[in-house]
Structure 1
């Protein structure tokens, strides 16, 4: 059964934090320092989510995926593409995470489809995202959804370790 996709509320912060921390620990094991993954805290992440939502950044959309029982099983966030501190006319998928127990069940696909639709409806010409270069599973996921690496790379620092990221892009229908 397809998950229900809706906008995130303050009441969702704990569930989203569980998904994010679990997603990091599962997807990035062996790709980022284990000490960083071990130090992740659901409570601290939930507090950060509450702060971000309370700030109400215009143009940034947080979506959650719920299973039939109402449990949060995925989260995605998108908004304007950032060239440094400057926002452009393109859109960026800032994050997408699925609870490790739900990977491969269509949750990520449903969240990505919703983000693509919303970015298209907002009039953006492209949707861009950054993915860890060594995260083969995520790279295959995005390629199946019509994204292509555009050759841009940059390091993402995690606990003092440079972890290379590659940029993917997909044109959007207007």
Structure 2
């Protein structure tokens, strides 16, 4: 019997349950891979073809991808955990790699920012965005960039609330399928 400790499966977690954010370490590659695959599948299964989606997850969210990212000193991965140590979210800050004018000295890219569905809300995303902005400023960045799927209205509203605005677009490959993404920027 599965016990849900007072809540139904899929129900949002209360707003007082904290997420502890820390820098990811090499021992987190399995958790990052699982989080990456789960959050990407949950976010895009409604309108991305299954084979392309699964091919993307197998490569872009493989443990080897996160292992290489953690070995790269210019990249930062944050992992969020419950008080019991269960991983529920992550974010990735990297040098910019988008088709807009950038400088590595002044710009950083939020490559990934995800929370599992029940952990969204209650200011948790705001907390994570504030942490990323603090890390970007510590690196001397003056601007944060990111790419977002145009049909992801919830994410676009979240980014707008945090001062991001559209500055361009790019093509994001999911397996062998191209998808249009918008490029957003926020001055720090």
User: What's the TM-score once normalised by structure 1's chain length?
Assistant: 0.85
Matches for 1:62-101 after TM superposition, within 5 Å: 62-82=77-97, 88=104, 89-101=106-118
2:53–2:174 CA contact under 8 A, matched in 1: no
2:54–2:175 CA contact under 8 A, matched in 1: no
> Partner of 2:169: helix, strand, or coil?
strand
- Per the alignment, residue 131 of structure 1 pairs with 148
Task: Please point out which of 150, 156, 162 is paired with 2:178.
Answer: 162
Larger Rg: 2
Matches of 2:166 and 2:26, distance apart in 1: 34
Give ranges in structure 1 of 5+ residues lacking alignment.
none
- Per the alignment, residue 47 of structure 2 pairs with 31
> Partner of 2:45: helix, strand, or coil?
coil
Going from structure 1 to structure 2, the CA distance change for 1:137 and 1:83 (only over 3 Å counts) comes to closer
Matches for 1:134-149 after TM superposition, within 5 Å: 134-149=151-166
Shift of 1:137: 1.5
2:69–2:75 CA contact under 8 A, matched in 1: no
C-alpha offsets along residues 81-136 of structure 1, whole Å, 9 cap, x if unaligned?
Answer: 2356x852211111112123322244433222111111012221110101112111
2:53–2:175 CA contact under 8 A, matched in 1: no
1:74–1:111 CA contact under 8 A, matched in 2: no
- Per the alignment, residue 21 of structure 2 pairs with 5
Shift of 1:14: 1.4
- Structure with the bigger percentage of strand: 1
The size of the alignment, in residue pairs, is 167
Give ranges in structure 2 of 5+ residues lacking alignment.
1-16
2:20–2:80 CA contact under 8 A, matched in 1: yes
> Partner of 2:154: helix, strand, or coil?
helix
Alignment partner of 1:14 is 2:38? no
